[in-house]
Structure 1
Amino acid sequence: MNKHPDTNYNRFEEIDSEDLEDILMQIEHSFEIKFDHDDFLKVTTYGEMCDVIFSKVELANNNGCTSQQAFYKLRMAIADTFSIDSGIIKSDTLIENIVPRKNRIRMIKELKRNLGINLKILSPPLWFIIADIVLFLLGLCAFFFSWKIAVVIIVISVLGFIIGDVFGKEIDFETVRDLVKEMIHKHYLKSRRDKLTVNKEEMQQILDDILIETFYLERSSLVRDVKFGWIK
C-alpha cells in the first residue's frame, strides 16, 4: 500500500515512487514544462532528478526575487478586490482579517480573477471532511453486505466532497506570507512579474521546499547524491 504524500518519511530514500510522480506533475504545472515518459529512466539520485527538471526550463534568467514579486502581485489583487489600501497589507497580515465570512466564496472568486491565478484557498470545515471520509469508508465496508447500498453510500460521499469543495468557507492559509508561498510552489511562473524569465538560483531552493513540506523531510536528507529508495 502506498504512503500518502503527507506521510512523515524523514529521509528522501523512503519516498514512494508514485508519490514522487505526483510531485513531478505539480512541478510541471508550476514551471509550465512537460516531461517525456523516458526523462527519468536513467535517473538514480536527487541531483540527477533536479538536473532533468532544470534542463526543461528554457527561459531567460532574471535574478528578481519571486517571493517579493508574488507578494506585490497578491497585495495589489487583495487591495483591488476588497477596496482597501494596499499599504496596510503586510506579509504577516491574517487572511481571516481581510476576507469577511459574508460573501466569502464570491469574493475569493473575484480575488482569483484579479490575481490571474487559480489558487485553492477555501475548504469545508474539518468536521465535514472527517464525516465524509467516514461515510466513504462505510460505503466500502457495505460491499460485504450489499453492493447496491455500498454504491449509494459512496456516491453520496463523493457528492459530499464535491459540494464541500464548492461551498466550503474555511480559509486554508493563515497569513499573506503563507498564500505567497503557495503561489510560488503551485504557480511559479505566473507568480513572477515577467512570465518569460526564471530565477535559476532560487529554483533549487523552491524544489527543496516543495519536497520538504510535502513529505516532511529533514532538509539534511536532500543532498545531490542521495539515491532513490527503489534503486538497487
Structure 2
Amino acid sequence: MRNYKLENIDIEDIELVLQKIEDTFEFRFVSNELINVTNFGELCDAIMNKITLEHKEDCTTQQAFYKLNEILTSEFGLDGITPKTKLSKIFPKRERLKLIRKVERKLNFKLNITEPKRIYTNLLLIFFCISIFSFFYDYKIALIGIGISIFGIWITHKLGKELNLNTIGELAEKMKRENYIKSRRNPKYINKNEIEQIIIDLFSIELDLDKKELTRSALI
C-alpha cells in the first residue's frame, strides 16, 4: 500500500500546525531541528521528545471540563452543567462576547469559539475579489476596496457571535487540543498517552486531512 505524502501539503501550512502544537504543549523547536524527519511517526516522536514533563495517568479533557465547570459555577452561578450542556445556554447571544471574555480571563487563554455569519464573510470575500479585478480599471479604487474588505473581514470575525461548537464537552476537547498544558489541573504533568492523538487531531483539523492517512509511515 502506498504511503500518504504530507509533502503534498504546503510547507507553510505544516509550519502553522507545528506552531499550534508548540503553543499547546509550551515548547519551541530550534532552527533545522526537524530537518532529518522523514515521516509522521518521526515527527510525533520529535514532539514527544520536546515535552519533558512527567507522566501522569489522567484525562486532560475531564480536567478541562472541571475548570470550565468551576468558572461557570463561581462566576455565573450556574449548576448542573454536564458535557452535553449547550453552549448557547451558557452564553446567550445578547451577552455572548462579554461572557466568553470573562471565562477567557479566568482561563488565561482565548477560546476562539465564535465566528461571523457565513453570509457576511462570503459577501466581503466577493467584494475583495471585485476589488482585485478593479486594478485593471483604477488602482486607487482597487486599493480602497481591498482595504475596506480586509477591515470588514477582521471586524466581523472580532464581533461575530455565532458559536462554532455546540456543547461544553466539545469545548473541553478543544481546550485540551489547543491549550493542553493550561487546561490541566497541574501543568507540571502530562498524560503521554494523549499526545500523539492530539497531534493527529490538530493535523487533521487544520489541514483538512483524513485521520486514516496520518499513519506513522506517512511521508513528510
User: How high is the TM-score relative to the length of structure 2?
Assistant: 0.92
The C-alpha deviation readout for 1:189-215, integer Å capped at 9, x for no partner, is 001111111111110111112222333
1:183 alignment counterpart: 175
Q: Is the 8 A contact 1:12 1:221 kept in 2?
A: no
Opposite residue 68 of structure 1, the aligned amino acid is Q
Give, in angstroms, the shift of residue 117 of structure 1: 2.2
Asked if 1 retains the 8 angstrom alpha-carbon contact of 2:104 and 2:110, the reply is yes
Say what the alpha-carbon RMSD is for the aligned residues: 1.7
Structure-2 change in CA distance of 1:185 and 1:172 (3 Å): same
Aligned ranges for residues 17-36 of structure 1 at < 5 Å?
17-36=11-30
Mapped partners of 1:115, 1:207: distance in 2: 22
What is the aligned partner in structure 2 of residue 211 from structure 1?
A: 203
SS at match of 1:34: coil
Distance, in Å, in 1 between the alignment partners of 2:118 and 2:151 is 17
| In the alignment, structure 1 residue 174 sits paired with structure 2 residue 187 | no
Match of 2:100 in 1: 108
Number of equivalenced pairs: 217
Instruction: Please list the CA deviations of residues 14-63 of structure 1 after superposition, one character each: whole Å capped at 9, or x if unmatched.
Output: 43322111100110111111011211111111111111111111111112
Counterpart in the other structure of 2:154: 162
Report the alpha carbon displacement of residue 180 of structure 1 after superposing the two structures with TM: 1.2
Residues 81 and 107, structure 1, Cα contact 8 Å, conserved in 2: no
Contact 1:92–1:177 (Cα < 8 Å) also in 2: yes
Aligned residues: percent identity?
Answer: 34
Q: Which runs of 5+ in 2 are unaligned?
A: none
Partner of 2:124: 132
Q: Look up the equivalent residue of 1:152 and give its one-letter code.
A: I
TM-score, normalised to structure 1, is: 0.87
Uncovered stretches (5+) of structure 1, i.e. residues with no partner: 1-9
1:53 to 34, 47, 55: 47
8 Å CA contact 1:11, 1:217 repeated in 2:
no
Runs of 4+ in 1 over 3 A off after TM superposition: 10-14
